[in-house]
Amino acid sequence: MTPHAIAGMSNPALLHGLLDTYNWDDGFDVPLAIASNPACELATAIRLFWLADGGYWFEHGGSNPDQQRLCRMILTGIEEGRYAADTVAHDEELTAAQQHKHRKAGMPEILLRAVLPGMND
């Protein structure tokens, strides 16, 4: 799937499903296209954040500029309320110890909990 094809997608579940088969060795073009697609929902954005090793990036920074761009895009989108929670669910299933570590580092709470459809109703 190309970034151009992703830009034309309007089904949140299909966008979320692309993450199941994406090979991160292919770079960040596809994840960036998914995160910037208007149909990308909160669950997909959060899953993208964790798949991009956003926890490490948040706490330690990163040397990959594409990873930084994606993680910043997602955090900004969450802060601005760009991602809806209408149809797609995701739970990162972090352990209590992982949650504590991330909270202590100041990570936004929304990244640490499950996203269920209809959360922003």
C-alpha–C-alpha distance, residues 113 and 96, integer Å: 11
Query: Which one-letter amino acid corresponds to residue 2?
Result: T
Residue-level pLDDT at 1: 84
Enumerate the domain spans of the chain: 3-112
Give the pLDDT of residue 120. Answer: 64
Please name the amino acid found at residue 84: A
pTM for the model: 0.91
Residue-level pLDDT, tens digit, the chain, 121 residues: 899 999 999 999 999 999 999 999 999 999 999 999 999 999 999 999 999 999 989 888 877 899 999 999 999 999 999 999 889 999 999 999 999 999 999 999 999 999 988 776 5
From CA 87, how far away is CA 89, in angstroms rounded?
Answer: 7
State the Cα–Cα distance between residues 72 and 78, nearest whole angstrom: 10
Length in residues, the chain: 121
> What is the model's pLDDT at position 111?
94
